[in-house]
A and B are shown apart, each in its own frame.
Chain A
């Protein structure tokens, strides 16, 4: 008697358990599922085995080899293509010259196979199908037999209306070699779909034999966990390699070199594989632990399957989960029922893995994260959704439509029922796709949406300043990475979200505490077609139209395919400018330009400005907030020069009030302002801090160190379009070329550097910097800025990147360079000291 073990499946429904190993090799009580099948066959004297492989055959071959170690003889057959179940067996025909049994390699059963074989022989059957009764026959093939157990009908995966029996095909068959006459060669042929119906039709001796006992198809991760529960409860008996250790009231099986720490509490049935350590104070109940695992004190494992080389740190609590190979679970992490953590994943401390979450291999879960959804494609699950005012992630990988819809639910829940939000996007198809998913989520919470479709961020902000909406959201592609989508959240005043606003949404998102609108009260979507006209009107009020018209300036603008190309050229034309627009058309397929293309674009812009003898050139970034200025000589201004130039232009043309600039801005701003009776307000580097300062009535301009400007008389928000118009207006008002005004800017040397620094050390570096600055004149608005007379240096940890910024300014270049180098070296030295 021979047997064929079907072991070719991909195990797709078992993912992520089967990401790295074929399904028959998934461990069940620390042994491959298929090993239990081999032992079952051996128990009934079937030792001549044919293994039918297909997916990852080498893993199976390397484990079983020729079978001698197990007391069986194994022949491997690997069809070159998917032939179907019967078609694959046909490939092994030459090895099957006597009666043989077929069984799946992913079953857990204790059936008495001898009874099936005896029945087959007694009835002189060509084929006998082993049958069993199950509670839920829907997902299996139902088989109907007559009184003689001849099969009369098959129903493959029936609906409840079709169920006329609870007797199903178990996938265990006894067959005579004559069966091969009915299986065509080289064709995809299935036992249930093709062969058995054919035998039925031909009235061949086809029998079904019902068997009592345990039978489970381990087809998905739930079934996998339940199979373990059944073994641990004693519903089915399987061989366990680890020997039993005497302990009253507990079924404890312990492998070689296992250490069980003092005070470890063990309940129910517990298996611990070779060389694993359970340190004192852990509580382990009905759990299987693999080899080379470390379980630290205070860990609680209940109904958990742990594979090999896992490291579960102090105080972690895990219930009814599967933890695969090479996984580390951080201190005090909590994992709810149904979780699966695939190979090579690291879960940071105090994380919370919610019910039924499956994490695919090689993931990094940041400490303190709450994981609410399956993590499949991205590399990491972030602790917090928000980075400042925005949520960013890889399009369709991290930010998927389903993720974003949930985000919309959370955002909608945070707002009053029946309120309105304003939503817009950039030109790309990705932004459009994700925005639409997001809208569904908002509407489900009973919040209305005013969709202004493709629009630049400054226009969205401008509308938000008025009544009607409680917030705004803008979808755009990242400049740094075109594969990344950024979702920018704005409050009711058009300001960037504060961290507390983001936290509120995160709380709702992670707890999934969504407000679902009654079916009669979901939100509605309306459009606001007049927003552009409203913006245009305000824009004209904000500039001196007559002055510009009188000068008829010629300017070149690179619109970068941004939505600004739809509105700004017309506005500038109406103001009397002669505009040479570059990249004005929208390109949904291509999206915006990336950061890498910027230097080339600027060079081209500079060349065009000179060729056309234009008054100025402007490079507008795709978010329509940032501007790079090129003067009439083709010189590309650095952002800090542009800031100083704008300050000088403003005071020269009579502006009086305060200028809001970040701590890192050059001190020439103060020089320019103070000489003209104006003041300077230093703010943190965050956009929101500058804009909050800009709202104050006395502030006439806020300027960042990245070419972003806000003019509160028009709107207290960074607006690249208005910046361009305002620069043109100021240039016309002074009546001299921009290059000449630039020459009037007091000279200083301004240098910036970056030192890479891991997050954990940033606090330590700043502590060392504050200690170092004790006897110096220092300010602590944002980072630590130390002054040496008119010269200064700023050490500023980046908010979102593992980087420390060092900025230095001095009257002469040598001093600035010296200061920059000195402090960059200090940061490097402190890093080393902190590592010790």
Chain B
């Protein structure tokens, strides 16, 4: 069972993602801020992180950069209400980019794609 870290500053979103992704068979851990996410990343291991770009006063992209620098083996999917960040080169460090929508299928598909890719690539 793949273990996911969902980072979003909105509690309802965290709840929604947590339930939906758990129903998909994932083990889901949530964090409400970049700091909380870093703490969890230091204490637990994850297979994938889903990060909102706008985290109150923090930037999801900075968190992404930190993960890439310190734990480059964890794939990251950026999840945002804005499509404009697709053109921001800092966002290109991510493995996936999903524009938030009421239909969570795109996010689920992207998680499945990135995990499958990672699994395929890690096979000797």
- A residues near B (Cβ < 8 Å) are 463, 466-468, 493, 530-531, 533-534, 537-538, 541, 681, 692-693, 695-697, 713
Contact = CB atoms under 8 A, between A and B. Distances in A.
Contact of A541 (B69, B73, B121, B122): B69
A500 to B, nearest CB: 14
B95 A696 contact: no
A22 to B, nearest CB: 63
B62 to A, nearest CB: 13
Contact of B92 (A463, A493, A692, A713): A463
Given A467-B92, A493-B117, A531-B89, 9 more contacts: A466-B93, A467-B95, A467-B96, A468-B86, A468-B92, A530-B88, A681-B124, A695-B121, A696-B121
Nearest to A716: B121
A530 B95 CA distance: 18
A468 B77 CA distance: 12
A534 B68 CA distance: 13
A695 B117 CA distance: 11
A681 B124 CA distance: 9
Contacts of B121: 493, 692, 695-696
Given A468-B86, A530-B89, A537-B89, A697 B73 contact: yes
Given A468-B86, A468-B97, A696-B122, A534 B92 contact: yes
Given A530-B89, A537-B89, A466 B117 contact: no
Given A681-B124, A696-B122, A696-B124, A533 B89 contact: yes
B94 interface: yes
Contacts of B123: 696
Interface string B106-123: 000000000001000111
A309 B124 CA distance: 57
B72 A713 contact: yes
Contacts of B87: 530
6 contacts: A467-B96, A468-B86, A468-B92, A537-B89, A538-B93, A541-B69
Contact of A534 (B73, B89, B95): B89
A541 B89 contact: no
Nearest to B110: A467
Contacts of A530: 87-89
Interface of B: 68-69, 72-73, 86-90, 92-97, 117, 121-124
B122 A467 contact: no
Given A533-B89, A537-B89, A467 B69 contact: no
Nearest to A531: B89
A466 B68 contact: no
A466 B72 contact: no
A538 B123 CA distance: 25
Contacts of B69: 541
The 6 lowest CB-CB distance pairs between A and B, nearest first, are: A534-B89, A466-B92, A530-B89, A695-B121, A467-B97, A697-B73
B108 to A, nearest CB: 16
A697 B124 contact: no
B117 to A, nearest CB: 7
Contacts of A467: 86, 92, 94-97
A533 B89 CA distance: 8
Contacts of A468: 86, 92, 97
Contacts of B122: 695-697
Nearest to B72: A713
A811 B48 CA distance: 47
Nearest to A695: B121
A692 B120 CA distance: 10
B68 to A, nearest CB: 7
Contacts of A463: 92
Contacts of A681: 124
Contacts of A538: 93
A541 B65 CA distance: 10
B86 A541 contact: no
Contacts of B93: 466, 538
Nearest to A541: B69
Nearest to B88: A530
Nearest to B117: A493
A467 B83 CA distance: 13
A493 B116 CA distance: 13
Contacts of B90: 534, 537
Residue of A467, A537, A541, A693 with highest tally of chain B CB at under 10 A: A467
Contacts of B124: 681, 693, 696
A533 B86 CA distance: 15
A426 B87 CA distance: 24
A466 B95 contact: yes
Contacts of A537: 89-90
Contacts of B94: 466-467
Q: Which of B88, B90, B93, B97 has most A Cβ within 10 Å?
A: B93
A541 B68 CA distance: 9
